[in-house]
Structure 1
Amino acid sequence: MDASTSRVDPKMLELLVCPLTKGRLVYDAKAGELVSEKARLAYPIRDGIPIMLISEAREIKD
């Protein structure tokens, strides 16, 4: 994945929360995702835009 497609403004990251838990998100630059550890969901980032839809999130399994 091209770094420019997954880069997210750090100020925006401070404002974003998981839509399910309202908890904080962790930016995984390598995977290009925002991870909600509490909900065990990873939200994709497409063209630099976080897709904050539960239906688009990837479930994180052990």
Structure 2
Amino acid sequence: MPLKKDLLDILACPACKGKVTLKPAGDGLECPKCKVVYPVKDDIPIMLVDQAVKTSEWTGSK
């Protein structure tokens, strides 16, 4: 089940508190300001700064 829009509307980057957007594949939440992606595993966003992956290094959630 994909993330619901209501949840996406309230989620924010834990580092900068900016807006995050769902990657097209639905496997990550991207913060354009910090240039990182937070993985989504089993439809659960992992919003931990130490779990973020640089956007340039993002290959998708494993």
**How would you bin the TM-score normalised by the shorter chain?**
0.7 to 0.9
TM-score of the two chains, using structure 2 as the length reference: 0.82
Q: In the alignment, what sits opposite 2:40?
A: 45
CA RMSD of aligned residues (A): 1.6
Contact 2:26 2:40 in 1 (8 A): no
CA displacement, residues 8-29 of structure 1 (integer Å, 9 cap, x when unaligned)? 1110000000000100001113
Gap regions ≥5 residues in structure 2: 58-62
- Number of positions where the alignment pairs a residue of Structure 1 with one of Structure 2: 57
Partner of residue 16 from structure 2, selected from 21, 24, 29: 21
1 or 2 for the larger relative contact order (CA 8 Å, sep ≥6)? 1
Residue 55 of structure 1, aligned match among 22, 25, 50: 50
CA deviation after TM superposition for structure 1 residue 31, in Å = 5.3
TM-score by length of 1: 0.82
Distance 1:44 1:28 in 2: 10
Q: Which blocks of at least 5 consecutive residues in structure 1 are unaligned?
A: none
1:16-57 CA distance string (max 9 Å, x none): 000001000011131510000000110000111000001111
The percent of aligned pairs where both chains have the same amino acid is 30
